[in-house]
Amino acid sequence: MIVDIISGTLILIGCLMAVTAAIGLVRFPDTLSRMHAATKPQTFGLLLILLGAVVRLGDNVDAGMLILAGLFALITAPVVAHRIGRLAYQEQRARDGLMEERDMESPDRD
């Protein structure tokens, strides 16, 4: 009974975080603000949902897979956000005439 309440609470809070991320994607004006809304609360909401599922599963073998999914989300979300932010920044500078097209390319790594 208590496990169900804890699990349900974690899942509900995680869903609310995901909804706030979706609202932020629609309402924020620029790419960098939207990127923040797409990564921070969405990742935290996913982790809460996965934690609620792990609490509910208990000693089940599938709990390990949920933990791996959470770790994968924690590892990949910052990398994707960094790449999107960098691209948006470079595109804005190019649009404003502060940077040329050739400056947007990554330097060769020899």
Q: How many domains does the chain have?
A: 1
CA angle 3, 58, 60 (to 5 degrees): 150
Residue 66's nearest CA partner among 79, 47, 87, 83 is 47
Specify if 55 maps to a domain.
Answer: yes
The span from the CA of 39 to the CA of 21, in Å, is 8
Percent of the chain's residues with pLDDT above 70: 85
Specify if 101 maps to a domain.
Answer: no
Range of the domain at 65: 1-96
Specify if 105 maps to a domain.
Answer: no
Q: Where are the alpha helices (DSSP H) in 28-61?
A: 31-57
Q: What is the mean pLDDT of residues 20-32?
A: 87
The pLDDT of residue 103: 60
Specify if 106 maps to a domain.
Answer: no
Q: How far is CA 40 from CA 14, 43, 83, 89, in A?
A: 12, 6, 15, 19
> Residues 73-102: pLDDT tens digits?
889 888 888 888 888 877 777 666 666 656
